[in-house]
Structure 1
Amino acid sequence: MTESKNLRDALLSRLATLPGTRRFHLHVLVSSPRKHTKLYPFVQHHPKTFIQDILVLLSEQQPVGVGKGLEKEKEGEEKEGEGEKGKDGEGWGPRVFVSAIEASLYTLPTTSSAILYISKVDSTGQSSHPSPTRTLARALLAFYADPTQRPAGMRAERVWVHLFARAQGQWWKRVFEEVGGEVGKGEGEEGVGVRLFYVLPGMSEFEASQSMGVSAGASSQSSVSWHYGHPYSQTDIPLPCPPNADSQSHTHSHSHSCSTYNLGRYIPSFDDDPKARFIDELGYTTEAEGIKSPARKRQKTGGEKGKREEEGSGEREGKTHGHVPGELGKVCADEFWERMSFRQECVAGAMTGFFTMAVTSPLSRQGGEGSGGAAEQRGQVPGQMNKRVLASLMTGHEFSSVERARWSTGKLEETIRGLCEGLGPVTPPGGVREGCVGEGVGSLEKYNSDIYGSVVVCNAGGARGVCGRVGVTVLTARKKKRRGGGEEVMR
């Protein structure tokens, strides 16, 4: 069996299909898996969960003239790792970041499930037309959703993709349709199934379809139909959290009676997610006391005595909090989404939508080997590296102009390369097994083979229709002529 393609190569392959002429530089940081207990914080027995942080940074160079060796450069393309020390080549403009994607991958071995949560997708507005952000996002979704493309260490029978986004303009809806249609080709013949869900809180199915300007079903180009609503009442696809995670679950079936279930077992909690904030409020709300503050974390103590005290305290907490917390046992999934329409995130003026894709496939259809748990994969880095790069990106750089974007891009790319050079290679003892998650290895070799890559794009069919000079797209105010010969700015 051939070795599966890594995320960097999969993204570069998609970017190479964009029309026009330009050079892309891609940095992909995927952290090694670590244990996580906050995905379902209000169940009594937390299911074994591993999390990986994903950060994708894309920079672009635009040609400043028709270079004689442009076609030759495209054929030979730049070798991995070259160009990072300022060797940008003649005939190219400055390198500027144009797109960034932040995501999290959760793996639950107990139920053979995985969840991909897209937390942020941003663009700087410095790219040429068409913007690569949509193509980059689609490639990321397809890499983890398609059972034939997934990394070798990720083996799950069910993969869920979650997104909270501005629904206006159908941008994400079309991306989900395209990925779902691509993955679901020949659905049923080989055991692969795809289901798509979307909901715009506060709107009926008809209102949502009219607001987005499309029909509620599948588009003419997609073979997968949409279901308007949430996925937490359906019984066809088992949800990621196991039924026995909460002691109040009286049956192993997916019964959604408000008197017998814990809403916190059905809806996962992600960082910076409106659903998670509402779940927190419901979990800490009681009829008598109103909203309670979360329990203060106990300071860790050293030694055997401290360990025994912590274990005893945990047992006492388990007995005290064995019931369904707050109102999570009283609020059904349908009522939850009805009340979501009154939340600040959904009434701030802009239309918002929640999109979910569920992909089911037998393990025999997936590449690689493994038991379905968390496993060390090629190209992974320590989790602190992702946090450091992301913090620098969010707080120390600006991309409001070409000059500022050029300076910030250079500094960030130097930071990423420097972090990889400063980390010596470390081999986890005996490999990484389920429940024994090692830290990713950072080195210059890994940087060149899995983290950084570039591709020269020279395709017909762009805004100018030919492979050649592509100018910088500058957004300016539209103007119309006055009758008296002057100009009036259109607003």
Structure 2
Amino acid sequence: MAPRPSLHQFLNQALQLVPTNEANPRTFELLTLATKPFRTFTLFPHALNPTVSIMRTDYLITLAEKFEDYRPKDDTISTPTPEVTVPVFALEASLYTISTTAVQLLYISKIDTTGLAPLPAPSGQLTIAFLSYFLQHMPKSIQSLRIHIFARASREGQYLFPASAENAPNGTGDGAKFASKIITSAGGDWGATFPYKTPTGKRILDDQQLVKWWHKVLSQLALGYHQASKTIKNPLECFYILPGLDHEESLEVLPLTPELKALWNYGHPYHKIRSPCTSAHQDQSQQPSKIGSSDRSQSCLLSELIPAFDDDPKARFLHSIGNCSTNASGEPGDWDDAIGQRSSSSLESDRNRERIKINNVSSDEFWDRMGGRQECCDGRWWACSSRVVE
């Protein structure tokens, strides 16, 4: 059996598939950063057992591409034409590991581009490769991997690259002028030199376009996973939901082909999966359930079903339901901060009070009410997607 590649090696292999030309190959610079695993209390702050150890690893992936320097040079000096390294893509993610229940949760928090990469841009391919790595190389000790995506366009048109929104076509930033300059440096005939298209500047997607982009990327991920893993015991199940819309209404925003209709489940996954805080061998009957309901989601507590990620509308809604004394996950004063700032007795008293309020809401009711939140009903679309390997 071949040794497990590192994440950096795996992503570099994926970049080899980006269209290029032997005479004028595209040259990428990939940077892969990861923190050491550290303990966090913000993912399920109101779990019944707050001592369950949840370890978090943060990732930052950045990609740059090299071009000939388009700036004027001194022709009297015979030196090779220098290159400039231009950032084109970045991804930010967090991996949460709950070893006692053999569950991992992977959350993509931000993706951004500068709009300066030639087309086809490597952003989709690199995103698929990043997610594929964790699907294909799950640790033996892990039984379940759950991938969470929250798709909503930034009002500023930028997430990780400051001022990159100015690189849009006809924008005011220096990046908007970059494409014409590198065409000139290539002799004015980009198509004759390169097998790909001129960078046209940053294309800022609106909500519906971003939801479609994510849905396309995740569909390609799932189809590729199923084709490569036909004999795998743990299939990949895909769920998506546009809060405030039923299935038929969602198809007007996000039409699906018959193949994709068979691939995706509309709605949340909590009817089918156990709580990440509960091992597969624990007796679920010990948890409270509503009379007459055979729904798994009704036998699990909301405080142990819905993860609270950083800058996450779900986390803010849970915070509102519980009328919580701490701030939402990822904000100053959240549970990670409160653990070191407040007494354990004060925290536990607040935790119990807030847990009762949160667990009076079922998972179905939670998602129904999400559609009425200001973040969902201000004329903008956004989607939550989950992929589950159990």
Q: Deviation digits for residues 78-129 of structure 1, max 9, x if unmatched?
A: xxxxxxxxxxx95564211111100000011111110110000001111111
Match of 1:249 in 2: 287
Tell me if structure 1 keeps the 8 A contact 2:274–2:300: no
SS of alignment partner, residue 185 of structure 1? helix
Distance in 2 between the 1:246 and 1:190 partners?
A: 27
1:159 and 2:163 correspond: no
1:331 and 2:373 correspond: no
Distance in 2 between the 1:93 and 1:57 partners?
A: 19
- Measured after TM superposition, the shift of residue 155 of structure 1 is 4.0
Tell me if structure 2 keeps the 8 A contact 1:114–1:159: yes
Tell me: CA distance 1:142–1:228, structure 2 relative to 1, closer, same or farther (3 Å): same
In the alignment of these two chains, the number of paired residues is 307
Match of 1:83 in 2: none
Tell me: CA distance 1:335–1:90, structure 2 relative to 1, closer, same or farther (3 Å): farther
1:34 and 2:38 correspond: yes
Distance in 2 between the 1:281 and 1:211 partners?
A: 28
| Equivalent residue runs for 1:81-100 within 5 Å | 90=80, 93-100=83-90
Match of 1:11 in 2: 11
Identity across the alignment (%) = 30
Match of 2:301 in 1: 262
SS of alignment partner, residue 100 of structure 2? helix
Distance in 2 between the 1:12 and 1:187 partners?
A: 22
Q: Name the amino acid aligned to 1:199.
A: I
Distance in 1 between the 2:246 and 2:369 partners?
A: 14
Tell me if structure 2 keeps the 8 A contact 1:44–1:245: no
SS of alignment partner, residue 198 of structure 1? strand
Tell me if structure 1 keeps the 8 A contact 2:42–2:334: no
Tell me if structure 1 keeps the 8 A contact 2:275–2:305: yes
Tell me: CA distance 1:245–1:60, structure 2 relative to 1, closer, same or farther (3 Å): farther
Match of 1:347 in 2: 377
Tell me if structure 2 keeps the 8 A contact 1:62–1:128: no
- Measured after TM superposition, the shift of residue 349 of structure 1 is 2.8
Per mean C-alpha deviation after superposition, the further-off stretch among 200-209 and 156-165 is 200-209
1:175 and 2:217 correspond: yes
Q: Which of 194, 213, 221 is 2:255 aligned to?
A: 213
Distance in 1 between the 2:31 and 2:68 partners?
A: 21
Tell me: CA distance 1:141–1:41, structure 2 relative to 1, closer, same or farther (3 Å): same
Distance in 1 between the 2:347 and 2:242 partners?
A: 38
Q: Name the amino acid aligned to 1:325.
A: R
Tell me: CA distance 1:91–1:238, structure 2 relative to 1, closer, same or farther (3 Å): farther
Q: Which runs of 5+ in 1 are unaligned?
A: 66-88, 287-292, 301-309, 361-491
- Measured after TM superposition, the shift of residue 18 of structure 1 is 1.3
- Measured after TM superposition, the shift of residue 210 of structure 1 is 2.2
Tell me if structure 2 keeps the 8 A contact 1:284–1:325: no
Distance in 1 between the 2:128 and 2:121 partners?
A: 13
SS of alignment partner, residue 182 of structure 1? helix
Tell me if structure 2 keeps the 8 A contact 1:198–1:227: yes
1:127 and 2:113 correspond: no
Tell me: CA distance 1:93–1:103, structure 2 relative to 1, closer, same or farther (3 Å): same
Q: Deviation digits for residues 175-198 of structure 1, max 9, x if unmatched?
A: 111211222237673312110000
Q: Which of 263, 272, 289 is 1:225 aligned to?
A: 263
Larger radius of gyration: 1
Per mean C-alpha deviation after superposition, the further-off stretch among 23-32 and 323-332 is 323-332
Tell me: CA distance 1:44–1:212, structure 2 relative to 1, closer, same or farther (3 Å): same
Distance in 2 between the 1:298 and 1:145 partners?
A: 33
- Measured after TM superposition, the shift of residue 130 of structure 1 is 1.3
Tell me: CA distance 1:352–1:105, structure 2 relative to 1, closer, same or farther (3 Å): same
| Equivalent residue runs for 1:456-467 within 5 Å | none
Distance in 2 between the 1:111 and 1:93 partners?
A: 50
1:198 and 2:198 correspond: no
Tell me: CA distance 1:331–1:93, structure 2 relative to 1, closer, same or farther (3 Å): same
Match of 2:321 in 1: 282
- Measured after TM superposition, the shift of residue 254 of structure 1 is 7.3
Distance in 1 between the 2:340 and 2:112 partners?
A: 38
Match of 1:378 in 2: none
| Equivalent residue runs for 1:430-441 within 5 Å | none
- Measured after TM superposition, the shift of residue 45 of structure 1 is 1.2
Distance in 1 between the 2:350 and 2:385 partners?
A: 36
Distance in 2 between the 1:284 and 1:247 partners?
A: 28
Tell me: CA distance 1:268–1:214, structure 2 relative to 1, closer, same or farther (3 Å): same
Per the normalisation by structure 2, the TM-score is 0.70
Tell me: CA distance 1:336–1:269, structure 2 relative to 1, closer, same or farther (3 Å): same
| Equivalent residue runs for 1:14-163 within 5 Å | 14-20=14-20, 21-46=25-50, 47-62=52-67, 90=80, 93-146=83-136, 149-150=137-138, 155-163=141-149
Tell me if structure 1 keeps the 8 A contact 2:68–2:84: no
SS of alignment partner, residue 276 of structure 1? helix
Q: Which runs of 5+ in 2 are unaligned?
A: 71-78, 153-206, 326-332
